[in-house]
Amino acid sequence: MHSLRNGLWVSGALTTNPSGGDIISTTGALKGGWYLLAMNIHASAETIVIMAQRNAADSGDVFSYEIPIPATQDVPVQIPVHIQIYKDERFVLRMKNGLTGTVQGSIFYANVVG
């Protein structure tokens, strides 16, 4: 049996005209362990957002995945497996390219124990 602890929802601000590489939402540094993730992303125009697990120094991706976002639609993303991270790693939503318009992303994360 698994249980969740420390489940949090972090929402980035509505960002206008973001550049490629801009972070639209982040969990900040986390303690090590196994996590469940879900995200919600909305953009006013078609774009691609990268979901990334960042290393402890926040200097590079451990893993990343591109998420295509259609114009004016909410895109919910659920990660159906536990992801293991090390102390001070984090999850981020980052723009792949610049966007003329607005975008907002949110991340739900929960530490899994048991």
- The full 3-state SS of 28-53, as one line of letters, equals CCCCCEEEEEEEEEEECCCEEEEEEE
- The number of domains in the chain is 1
Residue 2: its pLDDT value, please?
55
Provide the domain limits for residue 89: 3-113
If one compares 5 and 65, the residue with the highest pLDDT of the two is 65
Q: Which amino acid is at 56?
A: A
- pLDDT beyond 60 at 1: no
Domain CATH number, residue 11 = 2.60.120.40
pLDDT band at 7 (very low <50, low <70, confident <90, very high): confident
Per-residue pLDDT tens digits for 32-84: 999 999 999 999 999 999 999 999 999 999 999 999 999 999 999 988 888 99
